[in-house]
């Protein structure tokens, strides 16, 4: 069974509009909080862009003289733009990831009949860890910014609003990308289940039935690439851009003798997006490994049938 708790976490945290409910042995899949989870983040992106453009225009003569200001503008504007693009994309693709969840549930039903079990339990433990890390890191970043507002007092009112909005935008953007990790983890688990069943029971009947399930997983894999491919490319570009900007800014800060606390604070803000990039790479690498393992298992079983026919 799909990890419904994590699926509902994404809905509660405004990353998706799909929710699942269990009642009397049946599961009900439905759309929930579509306006809050898709439209409100886009409105926040537009509001943040308006404030950012206003502050930049009013202080352009100051910003243009400092490379660090320009690098910060590039960093946060790219994040806001990426959030807007992925937000619109997720809104357009919401029916497809509804179908993804529906196909996973159908796969689990078919697999339960083959394996003679009431249900299969698959927990998205890696995604759970990533969500918790994302929440903790953004709470820490918010505390760091609030502390800098209180102690340094160099930020204007609208600048404070802009920074806090960017923290929420970053959290929502990264949480949406973890949705891809969630599906990749579930597909990898199901490829592993197929390999295990075939290796334990290599009868011709089981082989034919599992091959049909293998085709279902292949179709879901194509759907995952269609739904999340563009957002993963955008995430990769944002990670590379932010890494370059922060590294360059840190070199400037060191040369100017900026306090170490500010340098550390800038580095801390990069932790969530770097962890996200690792999570995406790890989950899809694991999926590839499980696909190859399933292919090898089927090839070995087919050779066994071929040798049996010869004898």
230-240 pLDDT per residue, tens: 999 999 999 99
Mean pLDDT for the chain?
86
Alpha-helical (H) ranges within 13-93 are 34, 40-58, 60-63, 67-92
Per the CB < 8 A criterion, the answer to whether 97 and 16 are in contact is: yes
> Which pLDDT does position 179 carry in this prediction?
94
User: Can you give the pLDDT at residue 68?
Assistant: 76
Q: What is the dihedral of CA 301, 305, 310, 311, to 10 degrees?
A: 100
Number of domains making up the chain: 1
Backbone angles phi, psi at 223, to 5 degrees: -65, -40
R_g of the chain computed on alpha carbons: 24
Per-residue pLDDT, 173: 95
Question: What confidence score (pLDDT) does residue 70 get?
Answer: 85
pLDDT score recorded for residue 311: 45
Burial zone of 256 (CB within 10 Å; 0-12 exposed, 13-18 middle, 19+ buried): exposed
| Residues of the chain under the 50 pLDDT cut | 308-309, 311
* 8 Å CB contact between 157 and 260: no
Question: Cα–Cα distance between 102 and 287 in angstroms, integer?
Answer: 20
For residue 255, give its domain range.
Answer: 4-310
Question: Structure pTM?
Answer: 0.89
Q: Answer yes or no: are the C-beta atoms of 293 and 191 closer than 8 Å.
A: yes
pLDDT recorded at residue 25:
65
């Amino acid at each position: 069974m799909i990890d419904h708790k994590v699926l509902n976490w994404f809905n509660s945290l405004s990353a998706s509009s799909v929710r699942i409910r269990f009642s009397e042995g049946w599961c009900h899949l439905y759309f929930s909080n579509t306006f809050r989870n898709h439209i409100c983040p886009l409105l926040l992106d537009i509001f943040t862009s308006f404030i950012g453009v206003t502050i930049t225009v009013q202080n352009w003569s100051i910003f243009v003289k400092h490379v660090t200001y320009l690098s910060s503008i590039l960093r946060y504007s790219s994040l806001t733009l990426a959030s807007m693009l992925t937000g619109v994309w997720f809104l357009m693709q919401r029916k497809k990831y509804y179908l993804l969840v529906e196909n996973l549930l159908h796969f689990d039903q078919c697999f339960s009949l083959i394996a003679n079990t009431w249900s299969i339990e698959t927990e998205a433990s890696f995604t759970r860890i990533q969500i918790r890390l994302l929440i903790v890191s953004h709470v820490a970043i918010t505390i760091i910014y609030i502390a800098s507002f209180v102690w340094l007092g160099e930020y204007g009112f609208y600048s404070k609003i802009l920074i806090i909005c960017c923290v929420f935008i970053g959290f929502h953007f990264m949480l949406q990308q973890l949705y891809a990790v969630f599906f990749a983890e579930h597909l990898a688990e199901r490829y592993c289940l197929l390999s295990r069943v075939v290796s334990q029971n290599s009868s011709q009947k089981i082989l034919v039935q599992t091959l049909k399930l293998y085709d279902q997983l292949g179709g879901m894999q194509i759907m995952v690439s269609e739904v999340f491919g563009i957002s993963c490319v955008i995430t990769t570009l944002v990670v590379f851009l932010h890494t370059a900007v922060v590294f360059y800014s840190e070199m400037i800060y060191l040369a100017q003798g900026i306090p170490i606390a500010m340098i550390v604070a800038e580095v801390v803000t990069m932790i969530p997006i770097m962890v996200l990039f690792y999570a995406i790479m790890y989950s899809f690498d694991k999926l590839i490994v499980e696909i190859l393992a399933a292919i090898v298992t089927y090839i070995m079983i087919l050779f066994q049938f071929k040798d049996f026919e010869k004898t």
